[in-house]
Structure 1
Amino acid sequence: MMLGGHSTGPERFGTPILAVSEVSGLICDLLDDTRLHQIWVRGEVTNYRDHASGHRYFSLSERDGRRSALINCVMWRTYASALAFEPKDGMDVLAWGSVEVYEPHGRYQFIVREMLPAGLGERHLTVERWKQELDAEGFFAPERKRPLPLFPQRIGVVTSPTGAAVKDILSVISRRYPAEVVLSPTAVQGEGAHIEIAEAIRRIDGLVDVIIVGRGGGSFEDLFPFNHPDVVRAVAACRTPVISAVGHEVDTALCDFAADLRAPTPSAAAERAVPERREVLREVRGCEERMRSLLLHRFHASASEVEELRERMHPRRLARRVHERMQRLAEHEELLRRAALARMQRERSALAEVRASLAGQNPLAILDRGYCIVEAGGRIARSARDLGSGERLVLKMKDGRASAVVEEITYDRDL
């Protein structure tokens, strides 16, 4: 509708028209911020209602004189059933959860999954921070874990001298295995207990074969000293293998992660520390049986070997074997002699042939047949042309020499 030429509807502002559901959806998108999910919030409980369905409805408020703030909260039955305390109006608490929006009503609220009294909650956060810091320093690394000794002689126990834990440990060890128990006493809860526990661990380290550190069950507050970095570092620095047994099976302390082994209870730690006497005796008897069997087998094998040697060394058998060896030796000796004679015959024949060959090629052998060798000027004259008239000659004959002078030289025409 136009009045006086001007628009009176939403069109004149130039903005779109949104449905209620669209506005609720935008709010939902804005609240889908990671900074509003899985967060801890501290505040005072107000308007607390424990619904018959098991759900818990309340608000967390903050008043510091200058400002006042309030956020609606709900804790569904699934999470509320795990509460370790009963919230009341005016109680200071720490709540963990996420901010979400309920679109049908356009209302945002804090969905609480865990809630703790403020003091206790802060300690939980402290332990979580310690865990991250100690883990980053490598105290919880699996490769640091060492095996326990198989047959320890001395068991060190770090716990209260008057608590149930030491009695349980002594009872189990005395029943299972004859090992000596050395107590390093300490307070296990209360202010300053972590200092005593760390000192007790250092005091007994190196004096025993394995150390059990622990106490019986208790609340988170009671077990808090075993989360302290001083205790964790003392456990990690031990030269002796350490078993951590703090609380009951569902309880966990930071010293559990630093120990070489974690046991759910002190009694279970004692069982892990020493072997079962009956199992050891059964294993020993098994070893004895195996050794006896091996010795008997070896004895029978040796007896058979001796009997065989005795048969082989019997006088008649020995004499027969000696005669056989002597016969073989004589046969070998005869064969060697024959071979040597045959070789000598062959060598003599070869030598005779060489002598005959040499004799046939000896230039002096011809002198036996009436020939002589003519030497002129120190050389053998092989031709009449090697001689000169009046030249003095030496005639070498079979049994001596003679001198001659050339008077005349006649050459055969046929040459």
Structure 2
Amino acid sequence: MDWFNTPEDLSGKKAGPLLVSELSALISGLLDDPRLQDIRVRGEITNYKHHGRGHRYFSLSEKGGGSTAAVIKCVMWRSDADRLPFDPEEGMEVVVSGSVTLYAPHGAYQLQVKGMEKAGLGEKYLLVEKWKKELAAEGLFSLDRKRDLPRFPNRVGVVTSETGAVIHDIRNVLERRYPVEIIISPTAVQGETAHTEIALAIRRVAGLVDVVIVARGGGSFEDLFPFNNPAVVRAIAASPVPVVSAIGHEVDVTLADLAADVRAPTPSAAAELVVPDRNALLLGLQEQKARLGTALLGRLARAREEVMAFRDRLRPERFVRTIAERTQNTADLAERLERACSTRIERERLLLAEMKAALVGRSPLAVLARGYCVAEKDGKLVKSTGALSKDDRLKLRFYDGSSQAIVERVDHDRNV
């Protein structure tokens, strides 16, 4: 890196000896080069010191470089160190981010660290994102497959370490709230093969209980990494009973949390979710009992009023009065009906008389009664002499009977 060539270039003045402060200022200016700012460096922590004020001092060396390994001094101020998700240790391989600065009192450059992560975490983060996309494409995080927790479980399965504080917290909460049978399916919760053990523990207990709690105490991203493994996620999704996840702290979200039917912020909260509070149930029963008692008393009061009303309606004197009223009403109705019928019959009689008079006036018998007769030949009415011949037999119909006649002569100019 050819940054300067001559003493004149360094001082900006004539050639000559520089003051130490001037040299430090020049070096500091050179360290402002953008290529030395906001950089990431990977190395092994050595000479680690946690200062009482919270600052961290250490060196980074190339892992496996032996006595000839390159070394750079580092400082991490308390404001940045307090945000670390883990405690650095001697010999730990890390990736730090920061800028190169000059510590003028010692005339030495150093790396001022702003952030730190364990070596390999970046790759693990990318791997988790890859798994997340694949498992989401399989529908394992879909809200449609989330199941409701049973309201009154008989058995609760717990998948966690059998030696940690988590199982004691869960047991204490369950015994206090709603004692149920607890079936523990022990497993390692961190390590290279933890994900295999966790998935096996879930499958082992899922068919024996009504709900499963998968729990682990707090930890770093690397500690919780097994719960991101697809084997664990698929075991949770394939569980025949609902699964509650309680992994790490509330801010920690693993892929197992996304696949679980319910996520709890802590193992104790998970225990509270899977069982009801018996004290609350007893209180609810008491309130329900009081409401039922009040409703029953009200119902009895209303029934008593109804009985009294029936009794009042069933008294003999009331029946006699009611019968008398109904008899009077019946007599009135019969009288009105009789009058209406008589009036209607009289009106119909008059109408029939008028119709009879009209029919009689138009009847052929009325004409015959005035001295006329009707001649029939072979059952047919004779209307003209043209229909008659000598010796025709006629039937003459009179008002009060009929007789037979024989035609002796037909005179077409005169009536027969």
TM-score higher than 0.5: yes
Letter in 1 for 2:293: R
Contact 1:392/1:406, CA 8 A, preserved across alignment: no
Q: CA deviation at 1:222?
A: 4.0
How far apart are the structure 1 equivalents of 2:185 and 2:64? 50
Query: Could you tell me whether the CA contact under 8 Å between 1:45 and 1:61 is conserved in 2?
Result: no
CA-to-partner distance for each residue in 1:6-53, whole Å, 9 max, x for gaps?
xxxxxxxxxxxxxxxxxx9xx97xx8xxxx99x976456799999999
Does 129-138 or 42-51 show the bigger shift? 42-51
Tell me the CA shift for residue 175 of structure 1.
1.3
Letter in 2 for 1:158: V
> What secondary structure does 1:184 align onto?
strand
List alignment gaps of at least 5 residues for structure 1.
Answer: 1-23, 101-108
- In structure 2, distance between residues paired with 1:298 and 1:407: 108
- Cα contact 2:390–2:410 (8 A) shared by 1: yes
Shift of 1:327: 2.6
Post-superposition Cα deviations, 1:81-122, rounded to whole Å, max 9, x if no partner, equal 43434487x96432457x99xxxxxxxx99965322325555
Q: Distance in 1 between matches of 2:251 and 2:375?
A: 136
CA shift, 1:365, in A, is 2.7
Aligned residues of 2:393 and 2:407 also touching (Cα < 8 A)? yes
Query: Which runs of no fewer than 5 residues in structure 2 stay unpaired?
Result: 1-29, 101-109
Instruction: Tell me which residue corresponds to 2:135.
Output: 134
Residues 1:240 and 2:241 aligned together: yes
Aligned partners of 2:46 and 2:58 also within 8 Å: no
Question: Does the CA-based 8 Å contact 2:245-2:270 persist in structure 1?
Answer: yes
Match of 2:285 in 1: 284
Indicate the residue corresponding to 2:224 in structure 1.
223
Indicate the residue corresponding to 2:356 in structure 1. 355
CA shift, 1:296, in A, is 1.7
Q: Which amino acid aligns with 2:191?
A: G
Q: Aligned runs of 1:343-382 on 2, under 5 Å?
A: 343-372=344-373, 380=382
Asked if the contact 1:56/1:77 (under 8 Å) is kept, the reply is no
CA deviation profile, 1:114-159 (whole Å, cap 9, x unmatched) = 3223255554554454344434444334444333222222211112
Aligned twin of 1:3: none
Aligned to 1:332, the other structure's residue is in SS state helix
Cα distance in 2, alignment partners of residues 79 and 58 from structure 1: 17
1:290-369 matches, within 5 Å, as 290-369=291-370
Q: Is the 8 A contact 2:94 2:117 kept in 1?
A: yes
Q: Deviations over 1:365-400 (max 9, x none)?
A: 344444555679975568xx8799989796654455
Q: What residue in structure 2 maps to residue 262 of structure 1?
A: 263
User: What is the alpha-carbon distance in structure 1 between the residues aligned to residue 375 and residue 309 of structure 2?
Assistant: 89
Contact 1:149 1:210 in 2 (8 A): yes
Comparing 341-350 and 229-238, the one that deviates more: 341-350
Q: For the residues of structure 1 that align with 2:248 and 2:119, how far apart are their CA atoms?
A: 23
Q: Is the 8 A contact 1:393 1:405 kept in 2?
A: no
* Paired residues of 1:169 and 1:266 also in contact (CA < 8 A): yes
- Corresponding letter in the other structure for 1:196: E
Contact 2:236 2:260 in 1 (8 A): yes
In structure 2, the partner of 1:12 is: none
Q: How far 1:282 sits from its partner (Å)? A: 0.6
* SS, match of residue 304 in structure 1: helix
TM-score, normalized by length of structure 1? Answer: 0.70
Change over 3 Å in CA distance of 1:364–1:248 after alignment to 2: closer
User: In structure 2, do the counterparts of structure 1 residues 136 and 292 end up closer, same or farther at CA, with 3 Å as the change threshold?
Assistant: same
Q: Aligned to 2:182, what secondary structure does the other structure show?
A: strand
| CA 184–60 in structure 1, closer or farther in 2 if over 3 Å, else same | closer
Question: What's the counterpart of residue 8 of structure 1?
Answer: none
Flag the 1:125–1:69 CA change in 2: closer, same or farther, 3 A: farther
Query: Which deviates the most, 367-376 or 248-257?
Result: 367-376
Provide the rounded CA distance (Å) in 1 between the counterparts of 2:389 and 2:118: 158
Output the aligned Cα RMSD: 4.6
Match of 2:153 in 1: 152
Q: Give, as a single letter, the amino acid of the residue that structure 2 aligns with 1:360.
A: G
User: Would you say 1:192 and 2:203 are equivalent positions?
Assistant: no
The residue type equivalent to 1:294 in the other structure is: A
> Could you tell me whether the CA contact under 8 Å between 1:62 and 1:69 is conserved in 2?
no
CA distance 1:163–1:113, shift in 2 (3 Å): same
Closer/same/farther in 2, CA of residues 386 and 92 from structure 1, 3 Å limit: closer
Tell me the residue number matched to 2:168.
Answer: 167
Distance 2:302 2:322 in 1: 25
Give the deviation of 1:201 after TM superposition: 0.7
Conservation of the 8 A alpha-carbon contact between 2:55 and 2:75 = no
CA contact (8 A) 2:243 2:260 kept: yes
**Alpha-carbon distance, 1:342 to partner:** 2.4
Letter matched to residue 208 of structure 2:
L
Query: In 2, are the aligned partners of 1:155 and 1:181 still within 8 Å (CA)?
Result: yes
- Select between 139-148 and 311-320 the one with higher mean Cα deviation: 139-148
